[in-house]
Structure 1
């Protein structure tokens, strides 16, 4: 029997080429499935793009419906001595403000000590009482009572109302304990510090109040200012309750009144409208790109003819049909928003500003009122993005189709492998059989040739 080491070698037949051609023919079924898979994956990716752009559009709802967008106010000051901010609870107007004093925190400083590491007695309960009547206890039992240990213990407890540090004056007894009230103003000042049970050494370092305090105080001050001639006092330099809806941050004192102006600020409304239009246009542009058909090349896009894409486009366009039931400004076109031929929007900034300035209540009702733009947009985007919304349902369906196609591909691939294995066996058998036949044929040919030569020799 011939030894066949490679398909077709024994027989001389082009069996390898024939087997390759058969494989290519069978693989056309796999190519068709892969083409379908590619189309489904493109559709899933396109749905993801739509989800992102619709989510961005949905993100503009907060500003369109937010109460802080409407009736916003802005402040202007004529000095650097203070800054001001206003909520929509403030009342527009002009104010004259003079800062007389700034709020400061009380400081307590001890006499110089020779060592910062030497213990000051053992243990003790340090009670710190503030001017507002509150008291806190620092338990030094089993703790380091040196100046270093005391500073560490105080700063580890933010509820005590004081902060501690050491000052080194470079003398023979250089270390001074410095306590600073955690807040400015007289209410946050320390009125007494006592140590119990008896630890006279620690008392001599931190004791305050009574006839012989160990600490010397620099008193706290409250901020004081005049607003339109009315005297105001504040425990800190952030004054929040002197003018309704206005916060003043005091920086320095002044010798003469400075002006604070509070006026309407409609920029928030314009910004909200512009953000909505930008997001709307981004969605329309994305939809146009994903559903386009190239008539010259005769090629489709990922969502050409897709019903989900058409539905999203139609639903979002319905937002432009919102009509307010009251007021002068009742439609988006009256707000300066128009639709271009390609479905995107354009804004007439001058018309928008005029509408916002002249009819702020109408604009607010159109954008954020019942059945207004924000509410309609909420309904539309929820229908698109919700758990059972258009995109979720479409994506789930496409993923299911993709899974089915993968199973179909795997099954078809397995079938082709089985068929090709059968072909391989048949071709191997054929190659072996033809090789044997060729061997026999060669043998017979040789024998006949030998016989012919022998007969010729006999005749001679």
Structure 2
């Protein structure tokens, strides 16, 4: 008989609710163990969640500091006394010391592209002719919109095939742009018609000629020629170098963006102004550094508060977690870590020396007067703490925090290892819970079968008792008659 069927008949012989009795016996046997396993599972869930929160907090802290440092807003920036003539910015990736920067600039001439345009055509879609267009880069002389001389450069001329699929101004412009010859093309349309406009890169050696080799069966491409004696095109702008005087020394450059004249500074030439001197200086980002210090302290305190709560010896889920405690210890030592090693004697080298102090509860606070003094007297040292790219021998705050984060989240000995251990323990408990449930089911089946057998025997005994009682009653009735 199936266990379910047995359970339905239990107690019919004995009159005892044996189904309830079996449930009570099974519960009594396994209740304590199930409660213990459930409590252990809940505790591990809390530990896993706490580890995850701390890993996320320290990783986010580290990432935010890296982004702040890489953004360049904390580094000393170059300045220009006349941004209408030249602007200055720090060269990306440069480690140059811009403190005390001083240079004079005169922009005598801007670099320019050669720009040529054809005489108007009726429209931009009509066929002009077929053949080959050849673009050659070099240097040229221009007078009154016409090229008077040209010297080809060392580069190989580029040939562009023009056939029936691209022999309109629109098609020719696309073909030139696709050729990568150092010249870009566009079509300019107005009330006079459509013109092909050609433009090179800036620099004296970026002048160009465009010469056509026409197919005899479809002539017309020579109307696009650019060069000496090409009367159908006009050169609106001649190719030329920028001419700049730096501290009185005149130099030429092919671009108006120049990054090789002042170490760590990229100059952008805006306009030519011969005889006008522009002073290039520098300015420490004092306000940004002050904000960065305060933001660092605020975020540090949030992370440390989470750590203190989770590692509390009485109530913390990670009170015995060595990785969490190691992280707490490493962070608490951060204000005393030497971050700058190559500044003059007396310069601050630690966060504590610029006014970041540790309170009795483990949080940090900022001594505003001490920070302002450090920013005023040692801006370079403070900047280096937040700008590892400027360091020669020190590591900087970002590198120090990154090292702490790497150790803290390690899957070998850090919080990553803790998470893996707790997850493994959780699986073991889940396995034990599954086994306990299986054992309870087995016990319930065994007891149900045992009580069913007992109940059957009791039913048989009761049947015999009833028969004997009836017989005795019958005998007694016969005797009395």
TM range (shorter): 0.7 to 0.9
Deviation at 1:41, TM superposition (A): 2.8
Deviation at 1:327, TM superposition (A): 2.5
Pairing 1:160–2:181 present: yes
SS in 2 for 1:164: strand
1:50-61 equivalences under 5 Å are: 50-56=54-60, 58-59=62-63
Q: For residue 412 of structure 1, what is the aligned residue in structure 2?
A: 436
Q: For residue 215 of structure 1, what is the aligned residue in structure 2?
A: 233
SS in 2 for 1:193: strand
Q: For residue 148 of structure 2, what is the aligned residue in structure 1?
A: none
Deviation at 1:128, TM superposition (A): 0.7
Pairing 1:39–2:43 present: yes
SS in 2 for 1:201: coil
CA contact (8 A) 1:232 1:242 kept: no
SS in 1 for 2:210: strand
Pairing 1:280–2:304 present: no
SS in 1 for 2:166: coil
Q: For residue 145 of structure 2, what is the aligned residue in structure 1?
A: none
Q: For residue 136 of structure 2, what is the aligned residue in structure 1?
A: 129
Q: For residue 354 of structure 1, what is the aligned residue in structure 2?
A: 373
Which whole-Å CA distance do the structure 1 matches of 2:452 and 2:277 have between them?
104
Q: Which moved more, 1:200-209 or 1:3-12?
A: 3-12
Which whole-Å CA distance do the structure 2 matches of 1:262 and 1:20 have between them?
87
Pairing 1:22–2:29 present: no
SS in 2 for 1:400: helix
CA contact (8 A) 2:76 2:99 kept: no
Change (3 A) 1:251 1:453: farther
Q: For residue 120 of structure 2, what is the aligned residue in structure 1?
A: 112
Gaps of 5+ in 1: 295-299
SS in 2 for 1:301: coil
Change (3 A) 1:424 1:253: farther
TM-score, scaled to structure 2: 0.74
Q: Deviations over 1:167-196 (max 9, x none)?
A: 33356xx33323233x23443332333337
Deviation at 1:303, TM superposition (A): 1.1
Which whole-Å CA distance do the structure 2 matches of 1:433 and 1:199 have between them?
119
Change (3 A) 1:378 1:79: closer
Deviation at 1:340, TM superposition (A): 0.6
SS in 1 for 2:426: helix
CA contact (8 A) 1:145 1:202 kept: no
Deviation at 1:287, TM superposition (A): 1.1
CA contact (8 A) 1:75 1:86 kept: no
Deviation at 1:65, TM superposition (A): 9.5
Which whole-Å CA distance do the structure 2 matches of 1:24 and 1:436 have between them?
30
Q: Deviations over 1:148-183 (max 9, x none)?
A: 3222222334x2222223333356xx33323233x2
SS in 1 for 2:357: strand
Which whole-Å CA distance do the structure 1 matches of 2:361 and 2:233 have between them?
79
Deviation at 1:444, TM superposition (A): 5.8
TM-score, scaled to structure 1: 0.77
SS in 2 for 1:407: helix
Q: For residue 161 of structure 2, what is the aligned residue in structure 1?
A: 139
Q: Which of 230, 233, 238 is matched with 2:257 structurally?
A: 238
Change (3 A) 1:125 1:360: same
Which whole-Å CA distance do the structure 1 matches of 2:267 and 2:108 have between them?
14
Change (3 A) 1:245 1:430: same
Deviation at 1:120, TM superposition (A): 4.0
Q: Which moved more, 1:306-315 or 1:434-443?
A: 434-443
Which whole-Å CA distance do the structure 1 matches of 2:11 and 2:211 have between them?
107
1:186-335 equivalences under 5 Å are: 186-195=204-213, 201=219, 203-220=221-238, 222=240, 234-251=253-270, 257=276, 260=279, 262-267=281-286, 270=290, 273-274=293-294, 276-292=296-312, 300-322=315-337, 327-328=345-346, 329=348, 331-335=350-354
1:338-417 equivalences under 5 Å are: 338-359=357-378, 374=397, 380-417=404-441
Q: For residue 297 of structure 1, what is the aligned residue in structure 2?
A: none
